[in-house]
Structure 1
Amino acid sequence: MNLLSLNCLGLGNPDTVNALRTLVRREAPAMNFLCETKLCGRDMRRVRERLGEYNGIEVDRVGRSGGLTFLWKKEVDCNFVSTSVHHVDCHIREREKEWRITGFYGWSAVSDRHLSWELLRLLHHQSAHPWVCIGNFNEIFYFTEMKGGSRAQWQMNNFQSAIDDCGLRDVPWEGYKFTFDNGQSGDANRQCRLDRALCTETWLDLFPYARLFHLDREWSDHAPLRLAFDRREIGSKTRSRFRFEQIWVGEEGCEEAIIRGVEKGQEDLVDSLRACGKELFAWKKTSIGKISRSLELKRKQFARLNEGDRTERSVQKQRKLIAEIASLYRQEEQYWRQRSRALWLRDGDLRVGEEEVSTVAVDYFKGLFTSAEPSNFEAVLEGIEGRVTARMNHVLQAELKRKLLKL
């Protein structure tokens, strides 16, 4: 199981939604916490439908800012507890484990930052379950968690005090140190670690191999966070995950790749599936992936620019890459839409209306209960042992007497 957390910087732009959908497909999280969606609940539900089969809780934006959503796969046993414009709190049951997760979005204004810590303490007192809290806290622990700009010591002290009061600690993490970048160059550039996952010792006892990965920042000024709960989900942050797409079935070469995989796997099912995956992955890279390869290349270029100092040239190059990546996302979306339309025109609309369903049902039951007037019963009944004796048959065939009717 894993979880994806991201400060979206708004989801009203179709390019941003396409980028988010690609990220969710790539990381395949069981749960998602998204803050600063800048959407009302109705619009966020439309976005959710594009991300896959998730249940969810939406918190409306306030004015033109804010907006939260917490999504979980249908197989996850998630029970909603509470929400506000700054948090979503849920209980999770997994086999014999029961624990708690909170998506947190701290107040951005320094004058309101104390409200974040009051909320954190309030949430702490509401449950004794093992607890993990993830999101954008809009504050740092130490001066070493920032690059550029200045910060008052008392701000960090207040954050540390709240964390101590709640018995929380950092989940071990990997990746580029700073999760926020204001996108400016030179002395105006500000980078800091505003996004993190905090947990209690009891939660870490449940998930001793848990790791938080700072993923590469793309369209947002915040980096996505991927929280991996166990060793199966822990790997390189750039590791590619193979996922079969149903629409590939109509593409030239897909069937041949599957056949090659089955033949290589011989009679062992696991080996066949593994071999099929390798063959399909190789086929995808050479046959399907012109746009995908361009996306991968530009994402790697962008990732290299994400770390280190910001010059005017590097910032301009980043902005150019963001526009190019968004364009490629649009091309990819358009390609698959056209492909889906072509398959629909070829194979027809498989949906059936209510009238057709009714006709099929009537015809079925009509045929089921209408006699076909069969004959030659003796041949069929010959091998069936009789249960009605000759005496019983005599009684049944006897003439009905009036006195029996009176009884």
Structure 2
Amino acid sequence: MHKILFWNSRGAGSEKFRSDIIDLVKLHSIDILALCEPRVQFSKAKDTLLSLGFTDYKIVEANGFSGGIWLFWSSNQVKLDIIDMNCQSITAKISQPNGTAWMLTALYASPTNSVRSNLWKYLERLAFTHHLPWIFMGDFNELYSCVDKNFGTISGRIGGLKHWVDSNFLIDMGFLGSCDTWSNNRIKERLDRAFCTCDWRTHFPEAFIRHLPKMKSDHCPILLQLHSNNYVNRRVTPFRFQAMWLTHCDFSTFVADSWKSYSGDFVKKTTDLSHDLQQWNINIFGNIFKRKKHLLARIGGIQKATDRYSNPFLINLESELIREYETLRDQENLFWKQKSRDKWL
């Protein structure tokens, strides 16, 4: 088990959410997924989320548009036991093959101060009954320090969270990527983060948090990677016609012109076209997975560059790159639908 993704998705009922979450889970090979603020009942998104390979889940339903936490994992990949839950958190014990066990709390702290303050007291009581390495990950809806906000007053925004973290000697996991995890285009704050106990950090010295680019939500997804080297290279597959090629404006012309240029019988022409389509895919259409990663890196770079200062050119470029990314994502959806022999449009 290597990767955990937490995302305040600000809604899980739209088609855009469906495309984004499928992309996130596949692109980053997520083992445990935690979502908050779904703004819909679980039944509205259940089929989509379970189609991603997760076998088990625990749900704290939203109260209307407020709150809600959904936790997903696959029992084939992760030994996870739910320990406790309330309206602001789900806590699980994760056991590893080498015998090491540790605790994970996925949380969405209430935006209401009086309700949120109860969460810190609850977590302190829970910690007294389970003496294991522990990491807390989620949307804390509160600042830990003044550097977590780039504009506006911090009055009343620092209090219970800082006291809880300091009194329990928790460690801020830090991050890679943009400084802030939430923004409304003017104010930017670091609300989504992770704190761990000292013994958890000792067990996972290479672990780190990455702030992924914001897309649909005003919160960015945060990715916890336990080990520093766990990306898997995709295998090169034999030639197969890809439905996503049909979305390229030059595809039809390329096929027609190529077919006219070939000589020989039908079998030879088909063989020649297969070879040329492979080259066209590499040189013209491009490796869709590499292009997506490149676009995400550029989007993340722009969001990091505009952490503190707004730049109209970069903001416009970010919008263009997000649209290009979404086009690639839709093309990849065709690829996976065809690969799984589902119907595609």
For this structure pair, what is the TM-score category when the shorter chain's length is used for normalisation?
0.7 to 0.9
SS at match of 1:51: coil
Unmatched runs of 5 consecutive residues or more in structure 1: 234-239, 254-281, 345-407
Are 1:90 and 2:92 counterparts? Answer: yes
Percent identity reads 24
Specify which of 199, 202, 227 is matched with residue 202 of structure 1. Answer: 199
Query: Are residues 151 and 296 of structure 1, via their aligned partners in 2, closer, same or farther at CA, if it must alter by over 3 Å?
Result: same
Q: CA deviation at 1:202?
A: 1.7
Q: 1: distance between equivalents of 2:126 and 2:280? A: 50
Paired amino acid for 1:158: G
SS in 1 for 2:51: helix
Which structure is higher in helix share? 1
Gaps spanning 5+ residues in structure 2: where? Answer: 243-278
Q: How many residues align?
A: 303
1:144 aligned to which of 144, 147, 161: 147
1:316-345 superposed Cα distances (whole Å, 9 cap, x missing partner): 54445444433443343245435655999x
TM-superposed deviation, 1:28 = 0.7
1:330 is aligned with what amino acid?
D
Alignment pair present for 1:329 and 2:329: yes
Counterpart residue type for residue 213 of structure 2: D
**Equivalent position to 2:179, from 174, 177, 180:** 177
TM-score calculated relative to the size of structure 2: 0.76
- The alignment partner of 1:204 has SS state of helix
TM-score calculated relative to the size of structure 1:
0.66
Change (3 A) 1:213 1:283: farther
Please list, as runs of the form range in 1=range in 2, the aligned pairs for 1:302-317 lying within 5 A after superposition. 302-307=299-304, 308=306, 309-317=309-317
| Residue equivalent to 1:63 | 64
Which structure would you say has the larger RCO, counting Cα contacts within 8 Å and 6 or more residues apart? 2
Write out aligned runs for 1:8-407 (5 A): 8-73=9-74, 74-94=76-96, 95-152=98-155, 154-182=156-184, 184=185, 189-233=186-230, 241-244=232-235, 248=237, 251=240, 285-286=282-283, 289=286, 292=289, 295-296=292-293, 298-307=295-304, 308=306, 309-334=309-334, 336-337=336-337, 341=341
Aligned to 1:272: none
Deviation for aligned residue 1:155: 3.5
Q: Kindly report the root-mean-square deviation, in angstroms, between the aligned alpha carbons of the 2 structures.
A: 3.1
Residue 93 of structure 1, CA deviation: 0.7
In 2, Cα distance between equivalents of 1:299 and 1:175: 11
Q: How far apart are the structure 1 equivalents of 2:340 and 2:132?
A: 46
User: Are the equivalent residues in 2 in contact too, given 1:2–1:30 (CA < 8 A)?
Assistant: yes
Q: Deviations over 1:289-329 (max 9, x none)?
A: 46556644543442232122224554454445444433443
User: Quick one: distance in 2 between partners of 1:38 and 1:110?
Assistant: 21
